[in-house]
Structure 1
Amino acid sequence: MPRIVRVVLPNYPHHVVQRGHNRQVVFAADYDYQRYLTDLRELKDAFGVKVYAYCLMTNHVHLLLVPGDSAAGLGQLMKALAARATRYRNRIERRSGILWESRYKSSVVQSDTYLLACARYIELNPVRARMTAEAGDYAWSSYCERIGQDTGSGLLDTDPCFLALGCDHDERCERYKSFVKQGMRTDEICLIRNALQRGQLTGNKRFIDEIELVTGHRIEQRGQGRPKKNIKK
């Protein structure tokens, strides 16, 4: 079966997932997580990529990334991150071999409709996995930094949809916290998950038409609706 052609566009957000080879553990201790985030902070600037959300799970990572004017920066970032983590793991375990799946998955995300929903999906991963009761209880996602509880990492870039939530940072944080507490509908989870698994677009028909115009290629449409805007302004 031929590989799905990856759609990567400059200046568009992309939901990215990379899994451990055969779903093996890639983060075994706190330092493993810390090291990956340190590398992400350094390499995102080197390759001109913004980070809007992240969640590091035991055997995979979720990232919401925006390449700059060069779409190639996204692939370069993911390749460099994977290589550093692999060298580190092989060194401490005195082994050689593969740490990650050979190909990460990605989906271009419609900003005005799905960007915050996708960030929420990423930051609620530990809750869906029943690792924590609330998003704020998990140490290795962007949630605490986004709402101002953890300002130490300085990893996140502020996305325009988050800025639109309020007139100041406190107001934005409170509205985003309420948005996350609402949780996600099953159909919304399925839409985001399926788009990622199939390498398709996370967006509505208007967005699909827009991307087809940009790329000059037909992109398969799926039955999908617009998620309800649950954030009250």
Structure 2
Amino acid sequence: MSLAQSFLLRRGRFSEPGRLYLLTTATHQRKPLFSNFQNARQVVHQLRLSDQEQDCQSLAWVVMPDHVHWLIELKSVTLGTLMRRFKSRSSRALHKAGVRHEPIWQPGYQDRALRKEENIRYVARYIVANPIRARLVTSIRFYPHWDAVWL
């Protein structure tokens, strides 16, 4: 999506504290920056930092080679603030670690608010199974960049 069209992702966006959201963000030009183990761990650290700062509670996430899926319960900030902090801090950490790709992330992100009747564990399993569907591994046990509160 071009920068000129990225505003379309924000249209109608509403941030509700206590609500569950599925967030997805991709690297710039879908470069597989997180195929590198250390780069992926830098991103994992930033996801966990968002929890520690009480911006959200992470329920499940997976860091794929060129994107991140993140199931959260939103806490004290808006979705925009959460994603801006995550992307900014992870970009700085990656650049500090020697990643020369500029920029790291595509503009914008996708979000989907979960309905109360949706099966949250089903959504979490869907997120965690991404590396299997992408044929990166045959079992999630062999993929190091994921977590879920139920496991």
TM-score range, shorter chain: 0.7 to 0.9
The equivalent of 1:48 in structure 2 is 55
Runs of 4+ off more than 4 Å: none
Matched, 1:140 2:141: no
1:82 to 84, 87, 98: 87
The equivalent of 2:38 in structure 1 is 31
Q: Which runs of 5+ in 2 are unaligned?
A: none
2:18 to 11, 18, 33: 11
Q: Distance in 2 between matches of 1:80 and 1:140?
A: 20
- Tell me by how many angstroms 1:36 deviates: 1.6
The CA RMSD measured in Å over matched residues stands at 2.1
Return the structure number with greater strand share: 2
Q: Distance in 2 between matches of 1:129 and 1:82?
A: 24
* SS at structure 2 position matched to 1:35: helix
Q: Which runs of 5+ in 1 are unaligned?
A: 148-233
The equivalent of 2:127 in structure 1 is 122
* SS at structure 2 position matched to 1:31: helix
Q: Distance in 2 between matches of 1:61 and 1:78?
A: 11
Q: What is the TM-score when the length of structure 1 is the normalising length?
A: 0.55
Relative to structure 1, the CA distance from residue 140 to residue 96 in structure 2 (aligned partners, 3 Å threshold; closer, same or farther) is closer
Matched, 1:57 2:64: yes
Q: Distance in 2 between matches of 1:17 and 1:56?
A: 10
Query: Who wins on radius of gyration, i.e. which is larger?
Result: 1
2:121 maps to amino acid:
L
Is residue 18–residue 104 contact of structure 1 (8 Å, CA) maintained in 2? Answer: yes
* SS at structure 2 position matched to 1:27: helix
Larger RCO of the pair (alpha carbons < 8 Å, separation 6+): 2
Q: Identical aligned pairs, as a percentage?
A: 23
The equivalent of 1:131 in structure 2 is 136
Q: Distance in 2 between matches of 1:78 and 1:5?
A: 16
Return the structure number with greater helix share: 1
1:78 maps to amino acid:
M
* SS at structure 2 position matched to 1:136: helix
2:109 maps to amino acid:
Y
2:129 maps to amino acid:
L
